[in-house]
């Protein structure tokens, strides 16, 4: 989970597409990787605006990788971030149908439920993903998802525990760090908030309150975004 490694991943995915423009898994990986770059705060502003190309790659993956659960679930994740939740929900259900034991597909299902403010269903999906793959490299994604689901339920202390667990599993993961910062602001923990702000700077994240609100507003329901923004402001994240 480093800026350079994800840049390399998208470069190789695009090289694969140069060789075969209709190779679904490569298209899915290119789309997914671009979204990760944005969520980590590593994408340039013009890259963040260019979601149309990401959506195109995701739909290409669905068309030509429709029998591959990885391609379908990765494409679903990207499509959700591009703002088409109904299509994302349909795609992730297909991925689970193709392979009910795909922990990544269950994780994406959890995120789609989070975006739609269905925390109970989200937590069930993330827990299923963790049971299927308890020692895999993506445990931090599952823990982070559990934290977001707990946040949506208003269980802030539990959400903070999950955020810390995710950071223990992957210390360079910006998502749970931003969640922790939000919670420190809402729970009145200035010392931990200061430490988390310093860590964001170390990770070369370009997030501000403005950039967070702009991007996350396309994903989560307004009341959840408003709570996140309030917490980030109270924690001291720069406005712009």
| CATH of residue 58 | 1.25.40
Residues 6+ apart with CB under 8 A from 135: none
Look at residue 25 and tell me if it is in a domain. yes
User: pTM of this prediction?
Assistant: 0.92
Residue 7 counted as domain residue = yes
Considering only CA atoms, give the Rg of the chain: 17
pLDDT (tens digit per residue) in 206-225? 789 998 998 889 899 999 99
Residue 36 resides in a domain:
yes
Residue 117 lies in a domain: no
Q: Is 80 within a domain?
A: yes
> Are 159 and 150 spatial neighbours (Cβ–Cβ below 8 Å)?
yes
Supply the range of the domain harboring residue 75: 1-84
Q: Quick check: is 66 in a domain?
A: yes
CA distance 172 to 156: 22
Domain count, the chain: 1
Would you give the distance in Å from CA 233 to the centre of its chain? 21
Percent of the chain with pLDDT over 90: 77
Per-residue pLDDT at 38: 84
């Amino acid at each position: 989970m480093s800026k350079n490694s994800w840049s390399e991943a998208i470069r190789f995915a695009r090289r694969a597409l140069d060789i075969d423009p209709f190779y679904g898994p490569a298209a899915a990986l290119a789309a997914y990787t671009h979204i990760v770059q944005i969520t980590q705060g590593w994408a340039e502003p013009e890259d963040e605006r260019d979601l149309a190309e990401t959506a195109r790659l995701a739909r290409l993956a669905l068309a030509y990788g429709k029998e591959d659960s990885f391609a379908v679930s990765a494409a679903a994740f990207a499509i959700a971030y591009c703002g088409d939740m109904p299509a994302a929900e349909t795609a992730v259900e297909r991925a689970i149908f193709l392979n009910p034991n795909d922990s990544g597909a269950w994780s994406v299902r959890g995120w789609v439920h989070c975006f739609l403010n269905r925390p109970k269903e989200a937590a069930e999906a993330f827990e299923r993903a963790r049971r299927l793959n308890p020692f895999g490299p993506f445990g931090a994604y599952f823990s982070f998802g559990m934290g977001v689901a707990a946040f949506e339920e208003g269980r802030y202390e539990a959400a903070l525990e999950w955020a810390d667990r995710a950071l223990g599993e992957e210390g360079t993961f910006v998502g749970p760090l931003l969640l922790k910062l939000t919670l420190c602001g809402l729970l009145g923990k200035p010392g931990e908030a200061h430490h988390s702000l310093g860590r964001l700077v170390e990770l070369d994240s370009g997030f501000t309150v403005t950039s967070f609100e702009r991007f996350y507003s396309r994903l989560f329901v307004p009341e959840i975004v408003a709570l996140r923004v309030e917490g980030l402001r109270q924690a001291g994240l720069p406005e712009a």
